């Protein structure tokens, strides 16, 4: 009978980690639906960017208030969850505060965890107020209605509950230590729970305190496992993906257009006066034929762009900086990323339902999720790329979809078609014959 709690704990832990593993495998599968792209160069610079942006939060603090609050939650949540290791060991082996022999070091750790838990609670309340009381404009955009709004609040409620359970567990444990209850070794410092929670349970009997402590302990670890598995369905997946996303971010200048090798070679051939257009191609220099120019669906994007979509924090900084959006245009870079993720999830579910193969559902990212109006509203100014706190690049997706519209569907706006015709006929964007270019000199 004494091993039943340990067995139940093992089942809970195995179930939580097992379900998380299943979802991670789906995540990796979905990301790998994207086209191959090599991001293995300049490893030192990539590690530096990851340490600076993902770990150091350097882009978050460009907006000081939100940046400071986010750092408190980020650091607090990471450090406080170090105690999860102790909970796992205690749960599996039936011990209690296994790290208590660390003495003063343990006291400092637990005391620090409690202070951080209080700071996290304060930061979360501030975040909730910004969303629901102050109602910042960037959280009121059309794409933030429904699930995105609920998701943003759900995670805040989740974190409040986890922090309160942690403090309640500590307060009951501390009271039991003072009462000399067996199994509750005297260890730890409790500067927050001793005044915030203990007055609420001070008059409880020893047996009632044990029930409170055990209930909070079980709910805390169960809550952490639920939170872990909630991440896959939430924008908070960036907690895990921010690190690889910043590592694999492109190192070339923002907005630099990538040339298609097949098109480049064709242009070189046209410009070579000695080239024979009817000559048989040399197999050693012939490039693979491009199946599609640009992107109309998520499978036409590269895997880094798909990872970008999953990493999006939906913070709205990109949209709040976008000049097109600020002037009333339909474009929202945040919506571009959210739509890409939603379509990718839809494709993933299609594959799951069809035993590992994608069955054409008559839908695609372009048209069904993202409109032409949104794409052509973009000024390619890179404001969204510059401001993103986790190095997401919405512009690259916009450009690939524009490329598809121009090169596959000849569906560019009239102004752009006129410019391209002028370049083709006159060698310049203007509607003047090349022979007339210097006429202004005579005037």
CA 73 to chain CA centroid, nearest Å: 16
Stretches where the chain sits below pLDDT 50 are none
Nearest CA to 193 among 152, 164, 224, 151?
Answer: 164
Contact indicator for 246, 54 with CB cutoff of 8 Å: yes
Neighbours of 359 (CB within 10 A): 9
Q: Which CATH number fits domain 261-426: 1.10.1060, 3.30.43, 1.20.1420, 3.40.50?
A: 1.10.1060
Which of 81, 78, 90 shows the shortest CA–CA distance to 187?
90
Report the alpha-carbon distance of residue 24 to residue 237 in Å, rounded.
Answer: 10
pLDDT at res. 439: 80
**Strand (E) or helix (H) holding 225:** helix 206-230
Q: Return the pLDDT at 220.
A: 94
Contacts of 31 (CB under 8 A, 6+ apart): 303, 306, 307, 310
The pLDDT value given to residue 414: 86
Each residue's pLDDT tens digit, 338-371: 999 999 999 999 999 998 899 999 999 999 999 9
Give me 149's structure tokens: 């709004």
Q: For tokens 């690939």, name the residue.
A: 400
Pair 173, 213: CB distance under 8 Å: yes
One-character DSSP codes across 140-191:
SSGGGSSHHHHHHHHHHHHHHHHHHHHHHHHHHHHHHHHTT-TT--S----T
Select from 172, 175, 180 the least CA-distant residue to 211: 172
What is residue 283's predicted lDDT score, i.e. its pLDDT? 58
Report the pLDDT value the prediction gives residue 350, as an integer from 0 to 100.
95
**Which run of H or of E encompasses 214?**
helix 206-230
pTM: 0.89
Pick the closest to residue 78 from 125, 119, 24 (CA basis): 119
The residues near 345 (Cβ < 8 Å, ≥ 6 apart) are 30
Give phi and psi for 274, each to the nearest 5: -95, -5
> What is the pLDDT, as a whole number, of residue 288?
54
What pLDDT is attached to residue 330? Answer: 94
Token duo for residue 117: 């838990």
DSSP-H helix ranges across 50-103: 64-80, 83-93
Torsion of CA 78, 80, 82, 87, to 10 degrees: -140
């Amino acid at each position: 009978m004494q091993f039943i709690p340990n067995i139940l704990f093992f089942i809970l832990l195995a179930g939580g980690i097992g379900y998380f593993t299943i979802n991670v495998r789906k995540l990796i599968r979905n990301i790998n639906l994207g086209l191959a792209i090599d991001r293995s160069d300049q490893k030192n610079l990539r590690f530096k960017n990851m340490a600076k942006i993902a770990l150091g939060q350097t882009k978050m603090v460009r907006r000081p208030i939100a940046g400071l609050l986010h750092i408190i939650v980020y650091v607090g949540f990471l450090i406080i969850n170090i105690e999860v290791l102790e909970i796992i060991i205690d749960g599996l082996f039936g011990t209690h505060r296994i790290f208590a022999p660390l003495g003063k070091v343990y006291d400092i750790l637990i005391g620090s965890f409690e202070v951080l838990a209080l700071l996290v609670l304060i930061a979360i309340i501030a975040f909730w107020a910004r969303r629901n009381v102050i109602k910042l404009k960037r959280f009121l955009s059309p794409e933030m209605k429904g699930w995105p709004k609920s998701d943003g609040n759900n995670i805040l409620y989740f974190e409040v509950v986890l922090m309160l359970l942690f403090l309640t567990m500590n307060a009951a444990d501390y009271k039991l230590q003072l009462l000399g209850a067996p199994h509750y070794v005297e260890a730890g410092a409790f500067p927050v729970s001793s005044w915030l929670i203990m007055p609420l349970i001070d008059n409880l009997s020893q047996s009632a305190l044990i029930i409170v402590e055990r209930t909070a302990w079980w709910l805390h670890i169960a809550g952490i496992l639920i939170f872990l598995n909630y991440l896959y369905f939430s924008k908070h997946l960036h907690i895990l993906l921010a690190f690889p996303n910043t590592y694999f971010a492109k190192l070339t200048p923002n907005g630099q257009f990538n040339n298609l090798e097949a098109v480049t070679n064709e242009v070189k051939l046209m410009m070579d006066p000695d080239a024979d257009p009817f000559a048989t191609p040399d197999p050693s220099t012939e490039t693979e034929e491009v199946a599609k120019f640009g992107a109309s669906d998520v499978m036409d994007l590269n895997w880094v762009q798909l990872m970008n979509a999953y990493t999006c924090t939906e913070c709205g900084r990109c949209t709040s900086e976008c000049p097109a959006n600020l002037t009333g245009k339909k474009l929202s870079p945040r919506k571009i990323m959210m739509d890409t993720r939603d379509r990718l999830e839809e494709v993933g579910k299609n594959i799951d339902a069809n035993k590992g193969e994608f069955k054409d559902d008559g839908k695609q990212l372009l048209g069904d999720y993202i409109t032409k109006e949104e794409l052509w509203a973009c000024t390619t100014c890179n404001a969204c790329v510059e401001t993103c706190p986790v190095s997401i690049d919405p512009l690259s997706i916009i450009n690939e979809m524009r490329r598809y519209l121009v090169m596959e569907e000849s569906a560019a706006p009239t102004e752009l078609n006129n410019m391209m015709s002028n370049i083709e006929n006159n060698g310049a964007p203007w509607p003047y014959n090349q022979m007339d270019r210097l006429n202004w000199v005579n005037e």
